[in-house]
Amino acid sequence: MNARLDWISQAGGPLHGTLRVPGDKSISHRALMLAALAQGQSRVSGFLEGEDTRATACILQQLGVRIAAPNAGERVIEGVGLHGLRPSAQPLDCGNAGTGMRLLAGLLAGQGFDSTLIGDASLSQRPMRRVIEPLTTLGARIDSSDGRPPLRIHGGMDLHGHAITTAIASAQIKSAILLAGLYAGGVTRVDEPQPTRDYTERMLQAFGWPIEFGPGWASLPGRQSLRACDVRVPGDFSSAAFFIVAATLVPGSELLVQEVGLNPRRIGLIEVLRAMGADIRIEAPRQQDGEPIADLRVRHADLRGIEVPLAHVADMIDEFPILFVAAACAAGVTRVHGAAELRVKESDRIAVMANGLRALGIDAQETPDGALIRGGGLRGGVVDSRGDHRCAMSFAVAGLRADSAVRISDCANVATSFPGFEALARGVGFDLEQVSQAQPA
């Protein structure tokens, strides 16, 4: 028998305190990859000690990169240069990390050896054709299982620069193309239907690669070199989002979340919550290694439903599960559209959140690319996170406003993005209990 991890969340008192959330997952992935391809030693601090980012580190070690972990949240990477990676006799296991797999597909497309990327059961169902097709345009050759993992990447291909307009606004797709473009002759340019986060562009610049970029586009020449540098990873805004919404929803609450990364292509949730009436103040804004960071002070406020502006959708795609909880507690109706990407995340997040909210007494109607949520009183009940870390944490916040306990099933995958969530949550006032349930092996 195996034990399944469930949570029980219920209302308590106001939330108070000061906290720091773990390092940004997206930046941690990218810092490891670029440091591995650089000349010299790079040190990454604030590294997210999550299962996804550790999987990326293990893959790079399989490819011959020396990575040391002198302390928790630190990595020292001995770069091997653009052409210094070595083939692995074993498949490269990305675990649950969709970001890791898509970015590594771009990085490995330019190598002189074959590679195979695999993942867990969830990742093996996620669409990869969206990244395979643009990489093929650059000259890559990648085999898949009907557009899904495993990905068999053929080495020794002569990549060539190309101007690519992506069909989907996705920083992962853009980043995969740019990483492949490092190995391509000529110039690689990416244009997006909507601007997405520019972590890869900023970090390539920090590592010394000549790149030009702006909202919705990026262009770089291939076959240059990266020079080692130190990277300080800011707090992950997606992790902070659960505490931002929790403090907003629970009467009498005030939280200060310190050193949060506020990349302008990442903070659509702040704009949407403010439009709903939230009291979120940005304090001590500053720059850290090219990334804007700040402290966020959040106080309780009554929310009202809105139609989420399409312009913010790409900038908050990971935050929609927790926004759905905010909408459930808001007066009136909240409408979300243009977010079909939510259906192909770690779960179908539209379905998982709508089903869960209905189980808690909320009128939540799915649409093909979003949802219509009518705010009301949350009741207790049982919800299934479907193994999706962001849905699990969102339902934990919902429990703080329910009239009785909410049991959330299948929460173990929270460790992929937010190790230590439970302890941090309890430390600021969450009433959150961990329970295990035996199930057949």
CB neighbours of residue 287 within 10 Å: 8
Catalogue the E-assigned strands of 311-430: 333-336, 363-367, 370-374, 381-384, 406-409
Residue type, 117: L
Rounded distance, CA 341 to CA 247, Å? 27
Torsion over CA: 20, 25, 29, 30 (sign):
negative
CA angle at 223 for the pair 208 and 168, rounded to the nearest 5°: 85
Active site residues: 318
Query: Closest Cα partner for 420 from 18, 29, 94, 23?
Result: 23
CA 180/CA 262 separation, integer angstroms: 27
Q: Which H or E run includes 100?
A: helix 98-108
Tokens 């759905």 identify what position? 324
Contact criterion met (CB below 8 Å) for 252 and 231: no
CB 204 within 8 A of CB 178: yes
Structural contact between residues 204 and 27, judged by C-beta atoms closer than 8 angstroms: no
Q: Alpha-carbon distance 350 to 339, whole Å?
A: 9
Q: In Å, how far from its chain's centre is CA 379? A: 29
Contact 385, 397 (CB under 8 A): no
In one-letter notation, the amino acid at residue 323 is L
Nearest Cα to Cα of residue 113 among 136, 86, 95: 86
